[in-house]
Structure 1
Amino acid sequence: MLIVGCGDVGRRLATRARQRHQAVYCLVRQDRSVADLLENGLNAAAVDLDLTTPTLTGEWDQGQVFYLAPPPAQGGTDPRMQRFLAALPTNKPHRIVYISTTGVYGDCAGEWVDESRPANPQVDRARRRFDAEQQLRHWRDAGNGTLVVLRVAGIYGPGKLPLTRLRSNTPMIGADAAPWTNRIHIDDLVSVCEAAMARGRDGAVYNVSDGHPGNMRDYFDRVADLFQLPRAPLIGADEALTALSPGMLSYLAESRRLDNSRMLEELGVTLRYPDLASGLAACVSR
């Protein structure tokens, strides 16, 4: 197994694979990440995909690939994906599971969205992800291997909660102005990734969420209450234009509710945390 981009999700995938006595190889960007992975018994190498096309020969040429590396922070394309695909040997088939984002759907005005909805990325961060999807489709269509795309909702879990924002008293808009948002617990995402590699239909896209949309204000309030922190100050939509970061505003400008039926039915996963209440309770218990 090759994991490209070994952050929180990648490390969990790697740990589970090692428990199954499966060889794992991790490509990361920084030398300090390599050292940490090696200390934990994982094979790792540093490659800067902004500058370098990696060499994937010998034991590094793994048939199963989880591509978790984010695109660059600027532009509307993903040259990192281009360099990675150029490095894949063509003498044997590969199977790639790619972690994309539900942001490729764009603003859906709060409608329910399944995988038949055409992509309509409206900001560069989503355009970069969709560009990576398209590159992978061209690679697959050329007969190089099989592909499964996971369009993942907002990831939460231990270490992935807005505690810093709450402690700094950063404001948030009210529930009446907050868009629909979707989430998936990181442990469930890892299980979905494994199921996609094992059972995902070649060429398929899967929405990855817990299937219980909420709004961002409610999410922040629940986290604050569970961790006994003050709730974020309430502001209106107009005030948010100057009080919130451009990144947060871009998320607030899009509203959709994800249908996860295909994920549940085709991948056969049973979510450990099927709603926000159960997932947050587990975060507190840890």
Structure 2
Amino acid sequence: MPTSLIIGCGDTGVRVAARAVAAGEEVVGVVRSAASAARVRAVGARALTLDLDGDLSALPACDRLFYFAPPPREGDTDTRMATALAALPSLPEYVVYISTSGVYGDCGGAWATETQPLRPGTARARRRVDAERQVRALRGDAIVLRAPGIYGPGRLPVDRLRAGEPILDDAAGGWSNRVHIDDLAEYAWQAGRTRWAHGVYNACDGQPTRLGIFYDTLADMLGLERPARIGWDEAETRFSAMRLSFLRESRRLSNARLVADSGIEPHFTDFRDGLAASLRAQSAD
């Protein structure tokens, strides 16, 4: 029976775990908290509670490695991943890593494809570039999925809208890219069980928009006021440094390579459908 090991088994990881369990595999999800462990067990997988900055000698051997844990908060390298990969008892047959589209840096609104040079503009993105390098060094055929903003049930800016928080005016900001969490989980699961022609993919819906339309659509669905727009001067006094760093980068992500190589179209090609499904799921919970 194949074994799937999911390091960083959070929202996306639990969805991948459920798919692996349904396929009859033994699944181990590595988590940090009791609450996360309970979610892993709820889908039929085994939870392993570990501190990724500590002793990882308990990591089991696996056929499929899914690495979804974020890097440390400081530095230019992902020391956490280095420790985990070194602790693996054997080389997995399949390796999948979820990275970020932030590795491209600011593209001035141009389309970003997987072949262009990486220009990470923050230490956070440089850590992701290092993590990609480590994964590809472990296995030359490892799959790296570069994800933009992940949305889905429980991952929507509902509280910001209810609080009446403004957003950056589209005239001052750049392009927004996204992927529904269920689509991302499906991409990761399929990447962990089949061989694709390339090693790096933009894991997105392929339909970039301006940020305002996303917020306005969600507000309309919730029956709330659309958010007010502000310029950069005010944004710099109201938003966190991390949020500002995201807003300063503009690019449009193409998913053409992913669709061509995997044969999988995202279920939620239109974010409006994804928002509606997410709100229905939240109501059901």
Question: What TM-score, normalized by structure 1, do the two folds share?
Answer: 0.92
**Aligned 8 A contact 1:171 1:244 in 2:** no
Gaps of 5+ in 1: none
Root-mean-square deviation over aligned CA pairs: 1.7
Q: State whether structure 2 residue 114 is matched by structure 1 residue 115.
A: yes
Which of 194-203 and 155-164 deviates more? 194-203
CA deviation after TM superposition for structure 1 residue 205, in Å: 0.1
Q: State the alpha-carbon separation in 2 of the partners of residues 8 and 14 from structure 1.
A: 10
Separation of aligned partners in 1, 2:137 and 2:185: 26
Give yes or no for contact 1:172–1:217 (8 Å, CA) kept in 2.
yes
Q: How does 1:125-274 map to 2 (within 5 A)?
A: 125-140=124-139, 146-201=141-196, 204-274=199-269
* Whole-Å separation in 1 of the counterparts to 2:197 and 2:138: 13
Q: Which amino acid aligns with 1:7?
A: G
| 2:58 alignment counterpart | 55
Q: Using the alignment, how far apart are the partners of 2:171 and 2:131 within structure 1?
A: 35
Unaligned runs of 5+ in 2: none
Distance of 2:230 and 2:276 partners within structure 1:
27
Contact 2:94–2:193 at 8 Å: present in 1 too? no
Aligned to 2:193, what secondary structure does the other structure show? helix
The partner residue of 1:27 within 27, 30, 48 is 30
Offset of residue 219 of structure 1: 1.4
Deviation track 1:127-156 (CA, whole Å, cap 9, x = no partner) reads 111111111222225xxxx41100011111
CA distance in 1, matches of 2:270, 2:32: 34
Q: Which whole-Å deviations, capped at 9, do the CAs of 1:32-87 have from their partners, x for residues lacking one?
A: 4224433553211111111223323xxx2111011011111222221110110111
Alpha-carbon distance between aligned partners in 1 of 2:42 and 2:5, rounded to the nearest angstrom:
18
Code of the aligned partner of 1:84: A
Residue identity matched to 2:70: P
Question: CA deviation digits over 1:87-127, x for unaligned, max 9?
Answer: 1124x543210000000000000001110011111112111
TM-score normalized by the length of structure 2: 0.92
Once residues 36 and 158 of structure 1 are traced to their aligned partners in structure 2, the CA distance between those partners, rounded to angstroms, is 15
**Contact 2:205–2:269 (CA<8 Å) still a contact in 1?**
yes
What amino acid sits opposite 2:25 in the alignment?
Answer: Q
Q: Is the 8 A contact 1:53 1:86 kept in 2?
A: no
Shift of 1:226: 1.0
Confirm or deny that 1:4 pairs with 2:7: yes
Q: Is the 8 A contact 2:175 2:251 kept in 1?
A: yes
Aligned residues between the structures: 278
**For structure 1, which segment, 110-119 or 66-75, has the greater mean C-alpha deviation from structure 2 after superposition?**
66-75
Q: Is the 8 A contact 2:148 2:177 kept in 1?
A: yes
